[in-house]
Amino acid sequence: IVFLGDYTNRGSSNIAVISVLLDLFVKNPERVIVLRGNHESACSNKRFFERHVQGANACPTLLAELSQHFGDRYTFPDLLEWYDFLPMALYLGWRDDEQETSYLKLCHGGIEIGHTPHDFLASSAEYSLLESIDRQGFLKGYAQADSVFTQQISHALDYPWPEQVSKDYVATHCSNQPIEITAYPQHVSLRLGMLWNHFATEENEGVEFALSPLRRTLYLGKRLVQAVFTRASSPHVTLRGLFHGHQHLDEALPEQGLNSTMLTRIRQDKGLVRQWGGMVYTLGASDDITGYHSFVTLSLNPKKPSVQHWYKKPNDADYSLHMMDLF
C-alpha cells in the first residue's frame, strides 16, 4: 500500500489519520509506504494553523487538535519531526523477459526539474538521498534544444510578477549554481517539485512550461515531461509513467496560455485522470473536493500492465471498478 501524502489539515481527524498510518507502517514496514506531501512539514502546519484557526475561516488543523487534546504536554514541533524521514518519491519497477526494466514514479506533487534519478535507477541501490537540485542547468539545456521551451521558459521567468508573490521562487530557477537542499530547511520556500508542481491538462496542448504566481509552482506539459523521463532513463532502464495526487484545482493563466481544468477532469473521471497515453495519472482522493473516494490498484504483469480504478461517492455502499491498460 502506497500513500501519496497530505495526511493533515484536510479534515477534522488529523490525529486519527496519522495514528492509523503509523500503526499500519509499524506493523507492516515492508508492505506499507508513506510518502511525503506538501502538507507534511512543520512550517506548513504552522502556516495552516495561523491562517485558518486564528483567522476568520476557522477549520480544524493538526496543531489545533494537538493543543486541544494534549495542551501543555505537546510542544511544537516535536511530533512533526517524523515528516523529515518520509520519502518524497517511490520508483516502482518491473522487469520483462528481455531483462528490460520499466519504472513508475509515485509521488505527491509533480516533477522536480532540477533533479534526475538517472544514476539511482541505473544502480542497485534501494534509497537515494536528495541533496541538491540544479534547475537552471535543466532549463538551459532544454531551452537551447527547443525554441518552444525557450520562449515559454523565458516568458514565465522574466514576467514582472509581484515581488512579494514569487521573487524567491523564480530566483531558485535562475540560480547559476546547484541549490543545496540543506540550505532550505523549510521546504515551503523551496517548493520542491515532487511535493508541489503540477501538470498541464491535455486540453492545453502546446503549453510546456508555465509558472503559477498564486501557488508558486510550475506546470509542465507533455513534451517537457517526456524529456524529463528520457533524461532519467538509460540502456535497459526506462521511466515510463507517474502517479500523483495534489493537483485538485482549475487555474487559468491567460498571460501564459494556460487554462488548467484538472479539477473538472477529476470530477468527470470519478477521481482518476489518465493523460498522454498513461504517462501521467492524477488521483483525487478527497471527496470534499472531488466528490469521490478513489484509489487504484496496479497489476504490473510485464506483458500487459494494468490499472484498476476503484471509486464511489461518499454515500454509496460499495466501490465501482474501472479497469484500463497502464500504457
pLDDT along the chain (327 residues), means of 10: 91 87 95 94 75 56 81 67 90 94 98 97 95 93 87 91 74 91 75 96 95 91 96 97 95 94 96 97 88 95 96 95 97
Q: Is the dihedral of CA 299, 225, 261, 60 positive or negative?
A: positive
* Eight-class DSSP state of 53: I
Task: Identify which of 154, 175, 153, 171 has the alpha carbon closest to the alpha carbon of residue 163.
Answer: 171
Q: Are 110 and 199 in contact (CB under 8 A)?
A: yes
Q: Are 211 and 223 in contact (CB under 8 A)?
A: no
In a 3-state reduction of DSSP, which class is residue 326?
coil
Does residue 117 have a cis peptide bond before it, meaning omega lies within 30 degrees of 0?
no
Q: Measure the CA–CA gap between 286 and 10, rounded to whole angstroms.
A: 8
Neighbours of 158 (CB within 10 A): 10
Strands of the sheet containing 320-325, edge to edge, are 293-299, 306-312, 320-325
Q: Are 191 and 216 in contact (CB under 8 A)?
A: yes
* Eight-class DSSP state of 234: B
Instruction: Output the pLDDT for position 11.
Output: 74
Q: Measure the CA–CA gap between 208 and 198, rounded to whole angstroms.
A: 11
Which residue shows C-alpha cell 540502456?
Answer: 235
Q: Measure the CA–CA gap between 282 and 263, rounded to whole angstroms.
A: 10
Instruction: Output the pLDDT for position 326.
Output: 97
Q: Give the cell for residue 265.
A: 477532469
Q: What are phi and psi of 186, to 5 degrees?
A: -100, 105
Q: For the chain, give me the number of helices (H) and strands (E)? A: 12, 17
Q: Are 311 and 320 in contact (CB under 8 A)?
A: yes
Which residue shows C-alpha cell 471527496?
Answer: 287
Instruction: Output the pLDDT for position 285.
Output: 74
Q: What's CA 325's distance to the chain center, in Å?
A: 22
Instruction: Output the pLDDT for position 154.
Output: 92
